[in-house]
């Protein structure tokens, strides 16, 4: 399959305002959660992204009717015809595994293949499966398929070995219709978990504690459809903030929740950015050079792994030496070789990258290897001398809505070239 490319002319100072779309990592579990109720739910601010399209295809395969209407996404899960998703669909996107919990809760059975997604390290489903088994689910794995059944889900006490976001979401969605109370310990604390809790409670669920490391769910007999607005995408917002810094720009990022970005804001200030916070927007100004900093990725509320590649791009032209330690994924330095093509001086030893800042990056032919690596190369191209050709930008489409349109409005010079194939 041929993918599109960007041709980007660097060294354009970005100025103006840019609006953040709804969070991809919230939209996917919210779409899955609509399976829990008969009738039509309305989700507002769902972004138009490749991963969202894949999730809609999964829902439609199951028998849902999905339609965009004005600002909303209407999902009618009243007439489900299947509890199976074919391998081709599952392989397109990792988050398709989020249908496990809702289908088990509502129908007591589901069959899926192991999901795909960006190849940034092993993201095993053992936490999902262990948690569901503690709610009474029988799981049979063979030939790459997961078949799960439960006559009646029952509340359970689940301790997660690591605070997995997907496992926390799947167990929450299964537990809302279980008999009795479920407790999830060492739960993921991301804002997207809180957003899911809020939607489930609007549907009639009894969930409390999201955002903390212990979540309690009292099962109910049935849920009803609801309307909900997706939270803004904190990773998209952080990416725009770095774009302003790298181009020595002055950009107002609109539709944000500043509290969701605390570690990103703190590190950008440490690097010398002038950041002004408002209720639902952030202004980022950069005049002098970027200072080198050290950072370590951690589960929320620590520094997000999904911002690590973008920070590496920024630190490639910072003063002095920076050190990045990646603790979440073991294979998340795939962007390093491509940044080196642009003149970055980066050495990697295990989970640690040492970045020696250069005066400026140079335009080059580079290739996105995954979503956030693509974002890092996009940012580097904005700040580089001369033109950069960025291949395989379809990876970027998985997490950034209307990128060329948004950045053209800020003064970036970029062209998307479609490749037929």
Residues tagged active-site: 118
Q: Please state, in angstroms and rounded to a whole number, the distance separating the CA atoms of residues 43 and 55.
A: 14
Q: Please state, in angstroms and rounded to a whole number, the distance separating the CA atoms of residues 313 and 311.
A: 5
Handedness of CA 401, 77, 110, 182 (dihedral sign): positive
Q: 370 among the known binding-site residues? A: no
321-325 vs 345-349, strand pairing mode: unpaired
Q: Which of 363, 360, 250 is nearest to 16 (CA)?
A: 250
Q: 124 among the known binding-site residues? A: yes
Q: Which of 389, 369, 296, 381 is nearest to 343 (CA)?
A: 381
Q: Which residues have a Cβ under 8 Å from the Cβ of 420 and sit 6 or more positions away?
A: 2
Q: Please state, in angstroms and rounded to a whole number, the distance separating the CA atoms of residues 112 and 168.
A: 19
Q: Cis omega (within 30 of 0) on the bond before 301?
A: yes
Report residue 296 as tokens: 């370590």
Phi-psi region of 239 (alpha: psi -120 to 50; beta: other; left: phi over 0): alpha
Q: 24 among the known binding-site residues? A: yes
**The tokens 């972004």 sit on which residue?**
47
Q: 94 among the known binding-site residues? A: yes
Q: 306 among the known binding-site residues? A: yes
Q: 125 among the known binding-site residues? A: yes
Q: Which of 236, 238, 240 is nearest to 16 (CA)?
A: 240
Q: Please state, in angstroms and rounded to a whole number, the distance separating the CA atoms of residues 148 and 294.
A: 44
- Binding site for UDP-N-acetyl-alpha-D-glucosamine, residues? 94, 123-127, 306, 328
- Binding site for phosphoenolpyruvate, residues? 24-25
- Binding site, residues? 24-25, 94, 123-127, 306, 328
């Amino acid at each position: 399959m041929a993918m599109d490319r960007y041709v980007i002319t660097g060294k354009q100072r970005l100025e103006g305002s840019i609006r953040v779309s709804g969070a991809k990592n919230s939209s996917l579990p919210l779409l899955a959660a609509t399976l829990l109720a008969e009738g039509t739910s309305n989700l507002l601010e769902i972004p138009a992204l490749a991963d969202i399209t894949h999730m809609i295809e999964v829902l439609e395969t199951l028998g849902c009717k999905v339609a965009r209407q004005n600002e909303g996404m209407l999902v009618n899960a009243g007439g489900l015809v299947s509890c199976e998703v074919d391998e081709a669909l599952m392989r397109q996107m990792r988050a398709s595994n989020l249908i496990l919990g809702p289908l088990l809760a509502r129908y007591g059975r589901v069959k899926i293949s192991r999901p795909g997604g960006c190849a940034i390290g092993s993201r095993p489903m053992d936490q999902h499966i262990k948690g569901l088994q503690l709610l009474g689910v029988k799981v049979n794995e063979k030939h790459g398929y997961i078949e799960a059944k439960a006559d009646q889900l029952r509340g359970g006490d689940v301790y997660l070995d690591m605070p997995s976001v997907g496992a926390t979401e799947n167990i929450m969605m299964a537990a809302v219709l279980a008999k009795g109370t479920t407790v999830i310990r060492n739960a993921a604390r991301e804002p997207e978990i809180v957003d899911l809790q809020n939607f489930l409670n609007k549907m009639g669920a009894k969930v409390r504690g999201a955002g903390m490391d212990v979540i309690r769910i009292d099962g109910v007999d049935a849920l009803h459809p609801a309307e909900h607005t997706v939270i803004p995408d904190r990773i998209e917002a952080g990416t725009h903030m770095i774009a302003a810094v790298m181009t020595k720009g002055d950009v107002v990022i609109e539709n944000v929740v500043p509290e969701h970005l605390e570690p990103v804001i703190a590190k950008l200030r440490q690097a010398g950015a002038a950041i002004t916070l408002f209720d639902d927007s952030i202004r980022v100004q950069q005049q002098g050079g970027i200072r080198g900093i050290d950072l370590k990725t951690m589960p929320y509320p620590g520094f997000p792994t999904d911002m690590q590649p973008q920070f590496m791009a920024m630190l490639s032209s910072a003063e002095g030496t920076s050190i990045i330690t990646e603790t979440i994924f073991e294979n998340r330095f795939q962007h390093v070789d491509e940044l080196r093509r642009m003149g970055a001086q980066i050495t990697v030893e295990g989970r640690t990258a040492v970045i020696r800042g250069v005066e400026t990056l140079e335009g080059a032919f580079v290739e996105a290897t995954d979503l956030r690596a693509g974002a890092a190369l996009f940012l580097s191209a904005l700040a580089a001398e001369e033109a950069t050709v960025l291949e395989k930008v379809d990876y970027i489409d998985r997490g950034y809505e209307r990128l060329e349109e948004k950045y053209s409005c800020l003064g970036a010079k970029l062209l998307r070239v479609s490749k037929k194939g």
